[in-house]
Amino acid sequence: MTTISNNGTTKQKPRLDLNGYSYIMDRSTSENTCWRCIKSHSHFCHSRLHTCIITYNVIKSPTPHTCSIDGTTRELRKFDEEITFRSLNTQETPHIIITHCYKGLSDPALARLPTRDNIKRRIKTLRQEKDIIQAPNDLNFPVVPVQLTKTFRQNQFLRCDTGSGEDRILIFFTDEQINILQKTQDFLVDGTFKVVPEIFYQLYIIYSVYRNHVIPVIYALLRRKGAETYKRLITEILKFTPC
């Protein structure tokens, strides 16, 4: 099975992985794409394969390789790819990103990694270049940046911010989610503590049982998990659901 990545090379070129080998895009026509071994320059390996330009299905199998598979190098490439993706697409702290990406690495791969401080600097550089908004470290931040209040499709997502204070609550949902919420009578709730910004205590999720499916409909960042906090949360949600 082929997989395509857009951030797996130093120049951020598309990379194709197949059967333990990696290839980079060489050229394209109106019907297919030609890929060459990623070690074509470093090891003079001239293996090539062709894929459909639309589906990426292999239409001409790889020619023989003169290079060998280096499992550790592949692990390091995957690690760098994951670091880049999470740096640019999440608000996770560098510590959380690194801890997540360390999981599953072999001892030889861990031994070849840069120091944690160097990886943290790389994450900071990636975010500065992409102008990524940094997660606040003070609970009394004035407002949530506009860029973080909408979905990828520019639909409103942040619906409630109770304002600065020790029991601050942020509530997120889309119009579609609140419509599902109002159509169902059975709900499930769950709290998770590992993926929240440091200034909050938990991400609280409300699920609706809708048409035999369990669908998340409300996300809330909470500072506490006591009864009063949950009562405030329900009170705020009810403001968006007509009786």
Q: Would the pTM of this model clear 0.85, i.e. be above it?
A: no
The answer to whether 138 touches 201, Cβ cutoff 8 Å, is: no
CA distance 101 to 86: 9
By three-state DSSP, how is residue 239 classified? Answer: coil
* Cα–Cα separations (whole angstroms), residue 7 to 12, 14, 153, 182, 222: 5, 7, 23, 41, 34
Question: Which pLDDT tens digit goes with each residue over 222-242?
Answer: 999 899 999 999 999 999 886
CA distance 9 to 240: 46
* Cα–Cα separations (whole angstroms), residue 75 to 70, 103, 138, 143, 177: 9, 11, 36, 40, 38
**Residues pairing with 219 in the sheet:** 172, 205
Q: Where are the domains of the chain?
A: 3-60, 71-130, 146-238
Question: Which pLDDT tens digit goes with each residue over 12-26?
Answer: 678 888 888 889 988
The answer to whether 170 touches 148, Cβ cutoff 8 Å, is: no
pLDDT of residue 204: 95
CA distance 241 to 118: 48
Q: Which of 81-95, 148-162, 205-219 has the largest mean confidence?
A: 205-219
pLDDT of residue 1: 56
Sequence length of the chain is: 243
CA distance 111 to 125: 23
Tokens matching residue 211: 């048409």
Q: Lowest-pLDDT range, 116-125, 129-138, 158-167? A: 129-138
- Cβ atoms within 10 Å, residue 231: 10
DSSP string, 9-75: STT---EEEETTEEEEEEEE-SSEEEEEETTTTTS----EEEEETTT--EEEPPPPPSS---HHHHH
